[in-house]
Chains A and B, each alone.
Chain A
């Protein structure tokens, strides 16, 4: 079975590169990268440059917390407010181990919160485990009932 489609919302190009590198071997699902919350929202709601994108919706979202314009929590809130999108698991993947960020995320309905490790091996390991668990093991409700 093919791994699930990942929407990676990340403004930092270096982090994008490292994350993609971690998933390069062993993860066979599609990965779309958007650079901030506002772009992520456009993608999910098919707005702006994503108005004509394909029908497939992501199986889960890896979300950076701190981004320009709309940050991760704002995007999370928008997703969890939407009757259909709220079923998509959202994994907050952030540099911040700040208690407030963690509790704010859970209040907004995040499905998991993982702190980006500084050590690169641990970082790769964390990304792969996210991919393995949320992209392969976890089952989420079908997105076909979109109104």
Chain B
């Protein structure tokens, strides 16, 4: 039986050796020889205290003595170096043998734990390293127990929370703001599935400031937590700034009053809402992937063809030269409009695109056109006014001319014939004296007429027109009435037609007829059967009045002189006159917006015409 046990002991993988009461080795198994580094023969018989007392065995010997004294099992660990200098460790368990209540020897079991020791050391080192890594990690790291206690917190996480490590470890409730928890609630469901949950939180730090963190949490198999915290305040701010910027540009893009579109080559790839509106498309799809040529007439107003012209602008812009030009665009419904286009090359994700800004300048063009028209009409008005002024100046010249010329003649005659009268008187020639004195009188009369006429003429240019509805027949009757007692009037055969009423100044219109009738009577005075006809040719927009006589008429070659101031076609000795009457007629008709003309032939009578514009509502 004992032999069987011995065989088992011999083959046991653990080392076993036994001592007797005197502590002498009585048994050693094979495994122990490998641990001890000695053969059975060498080891057997050794005394523990005498033969094994060396510094390496110090712990073993102490433990051995303690077990022997207390008779209570103990253990030990030995670290030795073998003959090759290789360190090894073995661990042993000491069990005292008790015989009749007294110490009877020791059973020592031992195990070579060199490899295990190295492993544990490595584990420890790795753990240390890991701990240091955690400690100095830039991200905050927090480990938690399944129960929710914090088991580890690194420096970074303490800094994030603004706490020291001690406080951090005692933290029961994480100081997240309510809003951030509501926004990203704890997803225990996902955590339990072993998923890593990423959430954003705002931490209210101990000093009251807030920081935004990104938190990555994972639940371990044993129910503990690992969380990694990262400060994303700055990143968030940048992101927000970027987002704001983008929103800002989006807004500018979308809210612009100008159409904006992006082109890849000559194809639209994006456009804003205003572009859709401007080109009157249903939506962006009617523009995107289409070409600007589809939104242009084939020929531009300057005669150039749209396609090559547009391509030239596109190529110039792509070459980096900003283009700004006038363009006739066409809406989806085919209606053309004036636009100002600016083309710019832009780089997006490393690719060159064209950005076009289109301004509808229809109103501007219309305004410019209007301004041009106003300017032109202004120029026309200036021309007209200048002509009027020139006319007025010419009249003024004639006026001063008359003073220097026409008024001088009668003065000279007064002077001359007074002298002749005196001489005739002194020579006693009464008849001759009387004749020359008559000439003095005539010269005086002539001068009076000239002065009267000049005054009338100048007044017609100055008085304000008092326009009223006038019965022309009535006015003519009044004028003729003045001649009732003249033989010329009674000699003449009068034909006065029914005349339309007009809007004109009564006084001036009376003056017109006075002059014309006076002329007609004067130049028919030498006729045997004088005839005077007054009538009117009515047309849509004007009335042309005329007075026709069968008097001496005039040489048509000199028609242009008839209406000039102080211009006469007859000698004073034939027909007296001042040369002011027809000039006065012309000025009055001019002021009423009408025209004058005359027809005549020598000895075959004359006809004078004048027109008056019809007033609105007049038939």
Binding site for B on A (CB under 8 A): 11-15, 17-18, 21, 35-36, 38, 65-66, 68-70, 94-98, 100, 116-121, 123
Contact = CB atoms under 8 A, between A and B. Distances in A.
Contact of A118 (B400, B411, B417, B573): B411
B405 A95 contact: yes
A68 B571 contact: yes
28 contacts: A11-B571, A12-B572, A13-B572, A15-B412, A17-B416, A18-B412, A35-B571, A36-B571, A66-B406, A66-B566, A68-B567, A68-B568, A68-B569, A68-B571, A69-B555, A69-B561, A69-B569, A70-B558, A95-B412, A96-B401, A96-B404, A96-B405, A116-B409, A118-B415, A120-B415, A120-B419, A123-B415, A123-B416
B451 interface: no
B415 to A, nearest CB: 4
Contacts of B561: 69
Contacts of A116: 408-409, 412
Contact of A12 (B400, B409, B415): B409
Interface of B: 397, 400-401, 404-406, 408-409, 411-413, 415-420, 439, 443, 555, 557-558, 561, 566-573
B410 to A, nearest CB: 9
Tell me whether chain B's interface is mostly helix, strand or loop, or mixed.
helix
A98 B416 contact: no
Contacts of A36: 571
Closest 7 CB pairs of A and B: A95-B408, A120-B416, A120-B415, A14-B413, A96-B405, A68-B568, A95-B405
B404 to A, nearest CB: 5
Contact of B412 (A70, A98, A123): A123
Contacts of B573: 13, 35
A97 B572 contact: no
A145 B166 CA distance: 146
B404 A68 contact: no
Given A68-B569, A68-B570, A69-B569, A14 B405 contact: no
A120 B408 CA distance: 12
Contacts of B413: 14-15, 18
B409 A95 contact: yes
Tell me whether chain A's interface is mostly helix, strand or loop, or mixed.
loop
A89 B417 CA distance: 30
B393 to A, nearest CB: 12
B77 to A, nearest CB: 146
A14 B439 contact: yes
A82 B240 CA distance: 102
B415 A11 contact: no
B554 to A, nearest CB: 9
B39 to A, nearest CB: 162
B305 to A, nearest CB: 59
A11 B567 CA distance: 13
B583 to A, nearest CB: 14
Given A12-B572, A68-B571, A119-B415, A95 B420 contact: no
A14 B571 contact: no
A102 to B, nearest CB: 11
Choose among A11, A17, A66, A96 the residue with the greatest number of B CB atoms under 10 Å from its CB. A66
B405 A66 contact: yes
Contacts of B572: 11-13
Contacts of A97: 404
A116 to B, nearest CB: 6
Contacts of A17: 416
Given A95-B408, A95-B412, A118-B411, 9 more contacts: A13-B573, A14-B412, A69-B557, A69-B558, A69-B569, A96-B404, A100-B397, A116-B408, A116-B412
Contacts of A65: 405
Contacts of A18: 412-413, 416
A1 B320 CA distance: 101
A4 B571 CA distance: 27
A118 to B, nearest CB: 5
Contacts of B568: 68
A98 B571 contact: no
